C-alpha cells in the first residue's frame, strides 16, 4: 500500500531541475507528481515516477544523490473539508507528518494527496482502519 | 629620535661575539636535551650524531629536525626536559589533527620570556610610561599572556583587555588613554571600523603605535592600519613551539623585516623540499633552535613559514639578523582570524560524523576585515535524506564540531556529489581567495 518516492539532492543553482527532467525524459520515465523543498543553500526534489528503479539508476549514473522513501497516497474527498477530515484522523492518531503534497490527477471524484509519515506502517494501519482509501504505486501511476 | 634598547649590549653586539654566545648555549642545550629527553636522544642516535659533534654553529645542520608531528607523538609532555613540578605554565596551539601541540615553561622561562618581550616592545618604541592595550587573546594561545608579562616587565601599564567586545575596547582606549595597541592586524582594522561607527576620531585618542602579529599581513594592510588608526604599525613574530610572541620584532627604522632575538632563538633557512640549509639571503623555510629555554627547548623546529634572513646592519643599530615578513607557508596551514587551521583537522571532524565522506573543500575569503571560512561537503547517498530538517541538522552538527575542535566559526554548505574538483589523485582542499 506504500508508494515509492525518489528524492534528489539539489544545490540551488540554475539548470539543475531541467537537467533532471531531461535525463528522465531521455530514458522514457514519466513524472507523475513532484514537490520541491528548498532552503537558502540547497533543495530536495521529490518525485513519483512510473519507473522507480530505472529513474534511480539513471539519475545516479548522472551523478545525482538519490534516495528512495516510502510515502502514502491517500484519497481525499474533493469537497470543502475533505482534507480537514483526513488530517483530523491523522492528528487524533498522533501521527507525525513530515511533509505532504498534492498529486496531479484525480482518482475518480477524489483528489489524491501524498503523505510522508515518520512511521509509515502505523500510518497505513490507522488510515485503513478509519476507512480512508490508500492507493498503491501501480494504482496512482494508472490514474 | 634616539634608539631605545632594552639590553643594548647584546642587541648591538658585533656578530663575532654574538656567535660565540650562540655556540656556547647551543652546546649546552644539545647536551642537556640529549641527556634528558629520550625522543631527542633516539633521533640523534639514529642520525649518528652525539653532543660532542657540535663544535661550531655550522655543525647545527648535523642535528635532526623537529616537526609538529614530533610534538603530537609525544603529547602532551613527552618533550619536556624538566619534571612537571618545575613547570609553572603550559600553553597549547592547534595540532594538525585532533590533539593540540602543548608547550611548557618553568618560572625561569616565564621571566626570560617577559624580558625578551620587553625587548621586543622597546624595539617597537614602547617605554615604561606607556598604557598598553593588549587585545591578544588570553588563554591557551600564547599571545595574550606572553605579551602581558613583557609589558609588566618593561614597567608600562598593561590593560589585559583580550579579544572581543570591540565597542567596550574603544571606550577603554578613550578613557584609559591607551598608547600602544597589541592585536592581530585584522582586529586592528575591526577596531578602526567600530571607531568610525561610534564616531570616535583616532586623532583624538592617545594611540601611537600598534604591534601586530599572529597572522599574515601585507604592506598594503600596514598602510591601511596606519592611516585608519593614525599610528605607526609594526610587525611581531612568534610561535608557541619556539616560545610565543617576541621571537622576532620589527624596529621603528626597518621595513625590511624583524630582528630575531638570536641570542635566544637561532634561525636557519632551509629548502623545504630537501632540508638543505640555504645560503644567507635566500628564501626558504624558517627553522628555529631555542638556546635558553628550560622546560621546552626545541632543536631545529621546522616552522613551515617562508621567509629570508637579512644580515645587513640596521639603521637602529641592532646587529641582530632580520627575518623578512613571512610570505607564505610550506605546508597547507591556514590562519583564519588568528587561529591556525589545518585542512586535516577539518577532515578529521568530517570523518568522525557517520556517513560523511571526505569529499570537502574549504573556501577562505576576507569580507571586510574578517576572514570567513566556508566548508563545502558533498552529500552522499548515506547522509542524504528527503527531509530538509535532517540535512539542516547535519550541516549544523558539522559546524558545531568544527567550532569545537578548531575554535573557528565556519559556514557549512552541502553540495552535490562530484562538484568538488578532483585533480590528479589529490583533491584541491583549500581555495584561499584572500588577497593579503
A37 touches B: beta carbon within 8 Å: yes
Is-contact B315 B254, C-beta < 8 A? yes
B379 touches A: beta carbon within 8 Å: yes
Instruction: Name the residue among A11, A16, A98 with its Cβ closest to that of B387.
Output: A98
With contacts defined as CB-CB under 8 Å, which chain A residues touch B379? Answer: 9, 42, 65
Distance (Å) from the alpha carbon of B379 to chain A's nearest alpha carbon: 7
CA distance B358 to B350: 7
Section B392-406 average pLDDT? 92
C-alpha cell at B52: 660532542
Is-contact B362 B349, C-beta < 8 A? no
Share of chain B residues as helix, strand and coil, in percent rounded to the nearest 5: 35, 25, 40
A12 touches B: beta carbon within 8 Å: no
- A84: Cβ contacts below 8 Å, ≥ 6 apart: none
B385 touches A: beta carbon within 8 Å: yes
With contacts defined as CB-CB under 8 Å, which chain A residues touch B395? Answer: 41
Section B417-433 average pLDDT? 74
C-alpha cell at B336: 583564519
Nearest CA in chain B to A97: B387
C-alpha cell at B68: 609538529
CA distance B211 to A47: 60
B419 touches A: beta carbon within 8 Å: yes
What pLDDT is attached to residue B426?
57
Taking an 8 Å cut-off on Cβ atoms, the answer to whether A10 and B416 are in contact is yes
Distance (Å) from the alpha carbon of B383 to chain A's nearest alpha carbon: 10
Q: Which of B313, B322, B308 is nearest to B248 (CA)?
A: B322
- B381: Cβ contacts below 8 Å, ≥ 6 apart: A65, A66, A67
Q: Distance of alpha carbon B219 from its chain centroid, rounded?
A: 18
Considering only A9-13, A48-52, A81-85, which range has the smallest mean pLDDT?
A: A9-13
Distance (Å) from the alpha carbon of A32 to chain B's nearest alpha carbon: 18
Instruction: Name the residue among B386, B395, B419 with its Cβ closest to that of A11.
Output: B419
Taking an 8 Å cut-off on Cβ atoms, the answer to whether A7 and B384 are in contact is yes
pLDDT tens digit string along B274-309?
A: 999 999 999 999 999 999 999 999 999 999 999 999
C-alpha cell at B366: 576576507
Full-model pTM: 0.77
Give the pLDDT band of residue B48 (cuts 50, 70, 90): very high
Instruction: Name the residue among B392, B413, B416 with its Cβ closest to that of A64.
Output: B416
pLDDT tens digit string along B97-128?
A: 667 899 999 999 999 999 999 999 999 999 99
Considering only B202-206, B273-277, B402-406, which range has the smallest mean pLDDT?
A: B402-406
C-alpha cell at A74: 491517500
Report cis status (omega within 30 of 0) of the bond before B11: no
Phi then psi for B15, rounded to 5 degrees? -60, -35
Q: Is the ipTM of this complex over 0.95?
A: no
B409 touches A: beta carbon within 8 Å: no
Give the pLDDT band of residue B214 (cuts 50, 70, 90): confident
Give the pLDDT band of residue B180 (cuts 50, 70, 90): very high
Taking an 8 Å cut-off on Cβ atoms, the answer to whether B416 and A99 are in contact is no
B381 touches A: beta carbon within 8 Å: yes
CA distance B159 to B170: 12
* Residue reference for cell 552538527: B397
Which residue has better confidence, B96 or A65?
Answer: A65
DSSP assigned state of B148: H
Is-contact B243 B218, C-beta < 8 A? no
With contacts defined as CB-CB under 8 Å, which chain A residues touch B420? Answer: none
Amino acid at each position: 500500500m506504500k508508494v515509492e518516492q525518489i528524492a534528489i539532492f539539489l544545490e540551488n543553482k540554475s539548470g539543475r531541475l531541467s537537467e533532471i527532467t531531461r535525463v528522465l525524459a531521455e530514458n522514457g520515465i514519466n513524472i507523475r507528481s513532484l514537490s520541491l523543498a528548498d532552503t537558502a543553500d540547497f533543495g530536495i526534489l521529490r518525485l513519483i515516477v512510473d519507473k522507480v528503479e530505472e529513474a534511480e539508476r539513471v539519475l545516479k549514473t548522472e551523478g545525482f544523490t538519490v534516495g528512495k522513501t516510502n510515502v502514502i497516497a491517500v484519497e481525499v474527498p474533493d469537497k470543502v473539508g475533505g482534507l480537514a477530515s483526513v488530517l483530523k484522523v491523522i492528528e487524533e492518531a498522533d501521527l507525525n507528518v513530515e511533509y505532504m503534497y498534492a498529486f496531479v490527477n484525480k482518482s475518480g471524484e477524489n483528489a489524491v494527496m501524498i503523505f510522508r509519515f515518520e512511521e509509515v506502517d502505523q500510518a497505513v494501519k490507522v488510515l485503513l482502519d478509519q476507512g480512508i482509501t490508500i492507493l498503491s504505486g501501480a494504482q496512482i501511476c494508472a490514474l | 629620535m634616539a634608539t631605545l634598547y632594552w639590553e643594548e649590549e647584546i642587541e648591538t653586539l658585533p656578530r663575532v661575539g654574538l656567535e660565540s654566545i650562540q655556540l656556547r648555549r647551543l652546546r649546552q642545550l644539545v647536551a642537556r636535551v640529549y641527556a634528558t629527553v629520550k625522543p631527542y636522544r633516539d633521533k640523534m642516535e639514529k642520525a649518528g650524531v652525539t653532543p660532542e659533534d657540535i663544535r661550531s654553529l655550522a655543525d647545527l645542520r648535523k642535528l635532526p629536525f623537529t616537526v609538529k608531528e614530533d610534538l603530537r607523538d609525544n603529547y602532551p609532555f613527552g618533550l619536556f626536559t624538566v619534571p612537571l613540578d618545575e613547570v609553572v605554565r603550559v600553553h597549547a596551539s592547534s595540532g594538525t589533527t585532533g590533539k593540540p601541540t602543548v608547550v611548557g615553561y618553568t618560572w625561569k622561562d616565564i621571566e626570560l620570556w617577559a624580558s625578551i618581550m620587553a625587548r621586543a616592545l622597546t624595539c617597537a618604541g614602547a617605554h615604561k610610561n606607556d598604557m598598553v592595550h593588549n587585545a591578544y587573546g588570553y588563554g591557551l594561545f600564547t599571545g595574550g599572556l606572553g605579551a602581558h608579562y613583557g609589558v609588566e616587565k618593561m614597567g608600562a601599564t598593561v590593560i589585559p583587555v583580550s579579544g572581543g567586545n570591540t565597542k567596550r575596547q574603544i571606550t577603554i582606549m578613550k578613557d584609559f588613554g591607551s598608547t600602544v595597541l597589541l592585536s592581530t592586524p585584522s582586529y586592528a582594522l575591526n577596531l578602526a571600523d567600530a571607531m568610525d561607527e561610534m564616531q570616535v576620531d583616532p586623532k583624538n585618542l592617545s594611540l601611537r603605535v600598534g604591534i601586530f602579529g599572529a597572522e599574515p599581513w601585507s604592506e598594503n594592510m600596514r598602510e591601511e592600519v596606519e592611516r585608519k588608526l593614525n599610528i605607526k604599525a609594526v610587525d611581531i613574530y612568534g610561535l608557541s613551539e619556539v616560545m610565543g610572541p617576541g621571537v622576532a620584532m620589527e624596529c621603528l627604522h626597518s621595513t625590511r623585516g624583524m630582528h630575531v632575538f638570536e641570542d635566544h632563538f637561532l634561525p636557519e633557512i632551509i629548502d623545504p623540499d630537501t632540508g638543505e640549509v640555504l645560503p644567507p639571503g635566500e628564501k626558504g623555510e624558517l627553522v628555529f633552535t631555542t638556546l635558553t629555554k628550560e622546560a621546552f627547548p626545541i632543536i631545529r623546529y621546522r616552522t613551515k613559514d617562508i621567509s629570508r634572513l637579512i644580515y645587513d646592519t640596521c639603521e637602529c643599530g641592532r646587529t641582530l639578523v632580520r627575518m623578512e615578513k613571512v610570505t607564505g607557508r610550506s605546508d597547507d596551514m591556514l590562519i583564519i582570524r588568528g587561529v591556525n587551521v589545518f585542512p586535516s583537522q577539518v577532515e578529521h571532524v568530517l570523518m568522525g560524523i557517520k556517513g560523511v565522506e571526505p569529499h570537502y573543500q574549504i573556501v577562505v575569503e576576507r569580507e571586510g576585515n574578517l576572514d570567513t571560512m566556508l566548508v563545502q561537503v558533498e552529500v552522499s547517498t548515506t547522509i542524504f535524506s528527503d527531509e530538509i530538517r535532517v540535512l539542516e541538522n547535519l550541516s549544523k552538527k558539522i559546524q558545531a564540531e568544527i567550532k569545537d575542535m578548531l575554535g573557528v566559526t565556519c559556514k557549512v554548505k552541502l553540495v552535490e556529489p562530484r562538484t568538488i574538483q578532483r585533480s590528479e589523485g589529490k583533491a584541491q582542499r583549500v581555495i584561499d581567495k584572500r588577497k593579503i
